[in-house]
Amino acid sequence: MTDVTTENTGFDALKGLGTPGVGEEHPVYVQKLDAQGRAYSTGKRKNAIARVWLKPGTGKITINGKDQMQYFAREILRMMIAQPLEVT
């Protein structure tokens, strides 16, 4: 049999083996606004395309010309829609 000796170097031996780029600062994206102060974005999934305009106002959410209370009958769906728009 062969004797194998291993050195117990601890975690110091693992330095430099991490994922490259982790911990680096990423540039912050600033949303461009149009002349009326609106921000525009799109989202896609399969064949569906969602277009969203965010503008300063009272916080009223309108989907396809309907108020969110008419469009989403369940409270949980209204909570899911409003959650990303909450200021923390």
pLDDT tens for each residue of 45-64: 999 999 988 888 888 889 89
Retrieve residue 29's tokens. Answer: 């994206």
Using the predicted structure, report yes or no on whether residue 2 has a pLDDT greater than 70: no
Using the predicted structure, report yes or no on whether residue 26 has a pLDDT greater than 80: no
Residue-averaged pLDDT of the chain = 82
Residue showing tokens 């982790």: 22
Beta-sheet pairing, 39-45 with 48-54: antiparallel
Rounded to whole angstroms, the Cα distance separating 40 from 65 reads 17
Residues above pLDDT 90, as percent of the chain? 27
pLDDT tens for each residue of 28-51: 888 889 898 899 999 999 999 999
Three-class secondary structure assignment of 24-61: CCCCCCCCCCCCCCCEEEEEEECCEEEEEEECCCCCCC
Supply the Cα-derived Rg of the chain in whole angstroms.
Answer: 25
